[in-house]
Amino acid sequence: MASTEHQLYDTPAAIVLQLFIHSLRGEKERAHSLYAKFTSATTTDAFDDSDFDGVYQLAGRDAVTHVQRDEHATASAFRRANLLAGIWLESSGGGDDDAVPLELERVEYLFERAFIDMNVHDPERLSYLRVLEDVGFRKHNAYLSDGPSVEFSRQHVRVCRQLLRTLQHLESRGMIASDSEAFTSAEVLRWMLEDDVLDGSEFVLHHYVIEQLDGIHSTLLLFLSDFHELNDREDAENYVARLRAVDAKLARADRMIEQQAEAGVLPPRFALDKVLQSIETIVASGVEGCALSSTFVDKASAFAADLVPVVHTLVRTVVLPAYERLAACVRAVADKYATDDAGVWKLPHGERFYAHCLRHQTTTTMTPAEIHALGLRRVAAIHDAMRKVIVEQLGEPADTDPMVFMRRLNDAKADERLFYADTPEQREQCLNDFRALVAESEALVAPLFDVRPKQPLVIKRVPSHMEPGAPAAFYYEPSLDGKRDGQFFVNLADMGAIQKYEMRTLTAHEGVPGHHFQLSIAVEQKAMPAFRRSPSGFTAYLEGCTLCARPNALSQVARSHSHTLNSRT
Q: How many CA atoms lie within 13 A of 509 on its CB side?
A: 16
Q: Can you tell me the distance from the alpha carbon of 199 to that of 157, in angstroms, rounded to the nearest whole number? A: 9
Structure letter (DSSP) for residue 476: E
Q: Can you tell me the distance from the alpha carbon of 478 to that of 533, in angstroms, rounded to the nearest whole number? A: 11
Contact 391, 400 (CB under 8 A): yes
pLDDT of residue 467: 85
Give 476's strand partners: 487
| Closest to 407 in 3D by CA, of 317, 499, 341 | 499
pLDDT of residue 568: 36
In the chain, what is the straight-line distance between the N-terminal and C-terminal CA atoms, in Å? 62
CB atoms within 10 A of CB 474: 17
Q: Can you tell me the distance from the alpha carbon of 170 to that of 111, in angstroms, rounded to the nearest whole number? A: 12
Length in residues, the chain = 569
pLDDT along the chain (569 residues), means of 10: 74 97 95 94 88 96 85 80 93 62 94 96 96 94 95 91 94 86 92 87 92 92 94 98 98 97 96 94 94 96 98 98 98 96 93 92 91 95 91 89 88 83 95 95 88 93 84 91 92 91 90 92 92 81 75 50 42
Write the CB contacts of 145 (distance below 8 Å, at least 6 apart in sequence): 121, 122, 123, 124, 125, 152, 249
The answer to whether the peptide bond before residue 468 is cis (omega within 30 degrees of 0) is no
CB atoms within 10 A of CB 404: 9
What SS3 class is residue 211?
A: coil
Write the CB contacts of 187 (distance below 8 Å, at least 6 apart in sequence): none
CB atoms within 10 A of CB 43: 9
**Would you say the pTM of this structure is higher than 0.95?**
no
Q: Can you tell me the distance from the alpha carbon of 497 to that of 505, in angstroms, rounded to the nearest whole number? A: 14
